[in-house]
């Protein structure tokens, strides 16, 4: 019984999820970027999340990208800008664009 279950898992689960590449990888990566930038439509999200349930490489890409973004968010700090710095930068930009 255990070996037949193991064989079934290998045939039906592992083979499906362990594909080495996705035939639509570029498209999937573009959609993933749009989703993570919070610029996606509900249809794009639905399509992508249904897809990663069946596509191991895209599932891995999703996990990698979300992990990286979360890590970056935890490392960033909001710091108060010294008073007058923004105005000084704007002034310098205006001066250089006039010249």
Helix H, strand E, coil C: the string for 34-53 is HHHCCCCCHHHHHHHHHHHC
Tokens encoding 86: 């923004």
pLDDT digits (tens, 9 = 90+) for 39-72: 999 999 999 999 999 998 999 999 999 999 988 8
Q: How many domains does the chain have?
A: 1
Q: What is the pLDDT of residue 2?
A: 55
- Report, as an integer, the average pLDDT of 76-98: 85
pTM of this structure: 0.58
**Domain enclosing residue 6, as ranges:** 2-98
Residue 1 has pLDDT above 70, yes or no: no
SS3 of 34, please? helix
Q: What is the pLDDT of residue 46?
A: 96
């Amino acid at each position: 019984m255990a070996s037949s279950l193991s064989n079934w898992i290998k045939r039906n689960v592992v083979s499906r999820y362990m594909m080495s590449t996705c035939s639509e990888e570029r498209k999937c990566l573009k959609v993933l970027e749009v989703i993570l930038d919070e610029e996606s439509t509900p249809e794009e999200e639905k399509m992508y999340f249904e897809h990663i349930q069946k596509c191991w490489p895209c599932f891995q890409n999703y996990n990698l990208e979300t992990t990286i973004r979360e890590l970056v968010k935890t490392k960033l700090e909001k710091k108060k800008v010294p008073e007058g710095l923004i105005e000084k930068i704007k002034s310098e930009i205006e001066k250089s664009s006039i010249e």
